[in-house]
Every structure is written in C-alpha cells, then in structure tokens.
C-alpha cells in the first residue's frame, strides 16, 4: 500500500533500490565517442531481446520515434499511421518540423492499421503527389487502452509495406506489456519491422530512457539524427544502468500490473455512471467513460468531480477527454491501492 495511489501514468514509476545501486556503481565514458560501456551494454541487451542487429539509447520514447521517422524518410515523404497514434497526437509534430514529412493519419477500428488500409494509403508513383516513406504502428496502443496486436497482424501490415519498398517502424513504448499479455517472445513482434522504439521508463520502472533497435546501418543513421536533435549524451551510463536492471528484472512482473488493471476495470464496470469496455483492458491501461445519470450536460463536471474527488482521497487519475479518464497500473500500485481507488470511485459515484 502506498500513501498516494498514482494512476496517471506508468511514467511515474520510481527507480527500484537495485536500479539506484546500479546507477551509483555504473562504469561510464563519453557516449558521443561511443565509449560508455554501460550504454553499450543496454543497447546490446535491447537489440538481443528484440532480435535486431543494434540498439541506440535515447532520452525518451518521443526522441526514439522522432529519430526513427527522420532516419527512415526523406523530406517531403509521407508517413502512414493510425489517427489515434502517439506519434500523430502527442509528439509535438516533431517529425513534421524536423523531418519535413507529411503525416497520413488513417482512422482504424482498434488503433491498428489493417493490411488493406495500408495498401489503400500507399501512394502510386506520380509527379504530383508525395511518396510514402514509412508506415508506423503502435503496440500496445495507448489511446485505445493498452490493447495489443499480434505478431501475425504486424507481419501482415509489414508485408504490404515491404511489397512497396516502404519500411515499418514500431512504436513499442509498451511492447513488453504486449509480449507478457499475449505470452509471446518480444522478438516475434519485431521480426517483421525495420525499427522499434521501446521505453525502459514506463512499466519497466527505470527513471529515464528508451532504446531504438534496428539494423546496424539504420542505427548508424539514427545515431547521427540523435546528435542533430541534441540527444548525444555523455556519461549516460549513469541512467542506462537503470535500464539494464529494468530489462533484467522488471519484464515478467508486468503481469501483476495487468491483473491489477483488470481488477480495477471490473470494479469500475459495476459503478453507476461509469462505463468501461472490458475487452479493451488487455494490459496495464484502463480507460473509462463518465456518463453521469443526470444527463450529458452534467458529464463534463462529473469528469472533473472524479478527478478532484479522487485526488482528495489521495488517488490520482487523469482525464484524457471531456468524458473519459485513464488509469495506468504499474509497479508502484499494488492490489490494496486498487481497492482504495475503487473505494474512492464508489464514494463519488454513490452521490450521483
Ligand atoms: N506516453 C505518455 C504521454 O505522452 C501520453 C503516457 O503517459 O502514456 N509512445 C507511446 C505509445 C506512449 O504512450 C508514449 C508516452 C510515448 C511514445 C512517448 O514516450 P516519452 O514520454 O518517453 O517521450
């Protein structure tokens, strides 16, 4: 049990004592000179876990996606991706600003592009129109509530893209959540993509960082782009050390977060005025709708009431829209904390 139950995001996880220990003892060097042994170790471990030739440690998931998009594309090309994707919605249009690419968002049913949608979105050769430079997919899918797609679904999309000589990037910020939830090796999800970014700073609990993995040639280009955006870090082994511990010790326990998310979602489903699609609760994210029985006009206030009412009870949740709230479970939230969150929601909704 924790004093504050913070369900706003798994980015709020605090480093474990083992991580702090590893950080204090980390062997370091200048990573721009490629002389930091701990960064190299994390990059090699990540590449190995994802079946790729090489890895690149970056400051954040946003930087990993940006560096990947820019490394795959040329100015003026188009990037096909889901309308609700993190890259399109929450990365400050960095790829458009720095990579000079155009985004081609496609509305999808579950956040995952279907192979036919990719086929339709690919641009034919024509002097008037932009050329498709990249397809991006996201697994697990944040805005769709941590839902997973399978390695086979990824393979089908990649086959269409590769058939047109277009590479595929996977935003796998929470890829290990998908691997644990579907009981598949992480390599299976990355087998058919050209690059992947995953975060050690979310459910895996490290304080900072993500790793981009891909072919050696791709990572060489990505290293240059990382430098361009100011991401060349020096004695970065101090933070990479926590990433090594995260990969070594924090992957299998993600199943606990998934069980807690399910418990939370099942509790929420029973409360008046709250709705949750239990089928979409596959990993550590629970997105629920707020529909106060008094009528839709009261709904927005009801959302605020939930956020502030929970905060008053030391439970932090995050409104992601006028009528929807997101809760994310992680290592610093235990089963008792989930009961406390449910008690808070029960108390608030019982007054409606
Ligand atoms: N997501 C954050 C916020 O930015 C919304 C969160 O709290 O969930 N891809 C996906 C799928 C993500 O969910 C995130 C972070 C990122 C990329 C970016 O990672 P960071 O925050 O490290 O830049």
Range(s) of the chain covered by CATH 3.40.640.10: 17-249
Q: Which CATH architecture has domain 17-249?
A: 3-Layer(aba) Sandwich (3.40)
pLDDT at 289: 97
Residues of the chain with pLDDT under 50: none
pLDDT at 295: 59
Range(s) of the chain covered by CATH 3.90.1150.10: 5-10+253-349
Ligand 1 site-directed mutation target among 62, 138, 320, most atoms within 8 Å of CB: 62
The half-sphere exposure of 205 on its side-chain side, counting CA atoms within 13 A, is 25
- Please say whether the structural domain 5-10+253-349 has been given the CATH code 3.30.1490.20: no
Percentage, residues of the chain above pLDDT 90: 96
- The atom number, within ligand 1, closest to the CA of 201 reads 22
Ligand 1 site-directed mutation target among 172, 173, 208, most atoms within 8 Å of CB: 173
Q: Which residue's C-alpha comes closest to atom 15 of ligand 1?
A: 61
The pLDDT tens digits of the residues spanning 213-247 come to 999 999 999 999 999 999 999 999 999 999 999 99
pLDDT at 105: 98
Q: Which residue's C-alpha comes closest to atom 21 of ligand 1?
A: 61
């Amino acid at each position: 049990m924790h004093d504050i139950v913070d369900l706003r995001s798994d980015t709020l996880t605090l480093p474990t004592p083992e991580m702090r220990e590893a950080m204090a003892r980390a062997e370091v060097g200048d990573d721009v000179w490629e002389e930091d042994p701990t960064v190299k170790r994390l990059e090699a471990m990540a590449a190995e876990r994802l079946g790729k030739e090489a890895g690149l440690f970056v400051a954040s998931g946003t930087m990993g996606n940006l560096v990947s998009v820019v490394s795959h594309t040329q100015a003026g090309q188009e990037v096909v991706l889901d309308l609700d994707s993190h890259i399109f919605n929450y990365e400050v249009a960095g790829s458009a600003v720095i990579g000079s690419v155009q985004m081609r968002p496609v509305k999808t049913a579950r956040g995952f592009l279907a192979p036919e949608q990719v086929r339709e979105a690919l641009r034919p050769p024509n002097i008037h129109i932009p050329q498709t430079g990249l397809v991006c997919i996201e697994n697990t899918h944040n805005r769709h509530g941590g839902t997973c797609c399978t390695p086979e679904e990824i393979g089908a999309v990649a086959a269409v893209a590769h058939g047109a000589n277009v590479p595929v990037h996977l935003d796998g910020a929470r890829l290990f959540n998908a691997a644990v939830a579907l009981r598949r090796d992480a390599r299976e999800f990355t087998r058919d993509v050209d690059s992947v970014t995953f975060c050690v700073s979310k459910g895996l609990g490290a304080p900072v960082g993500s790793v981009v993995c891909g072919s050696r040639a791709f990572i060489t280009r990505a290293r240059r782009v990382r430098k361009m955006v100011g991401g060349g870090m020096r004695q970065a082994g101090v933070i990479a050390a926590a990433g090594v511990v995260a990969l070594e010790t924090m992957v299998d326990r993600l199943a606990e977060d998934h069980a807690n998310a399910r418990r939370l979602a099942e509790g929420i489903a029973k409360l008046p005025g709250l709705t949750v699609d239990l089928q979409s609760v596959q990993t550590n994210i629970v997105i629920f709708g707020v529909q106060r029985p008094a009528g839709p006009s009261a709904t927005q206030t009801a959302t605020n009431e939930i956020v502030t009412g929970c905060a008053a009870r030391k439970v932090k949740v995050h409104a992601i829209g006028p009528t929807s709230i997101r809760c994310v479970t992680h290592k610093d939230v235990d089963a008792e904390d989930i009961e406390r969150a449910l008690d808070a929601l029960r108390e608030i909704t019982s007054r409606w």
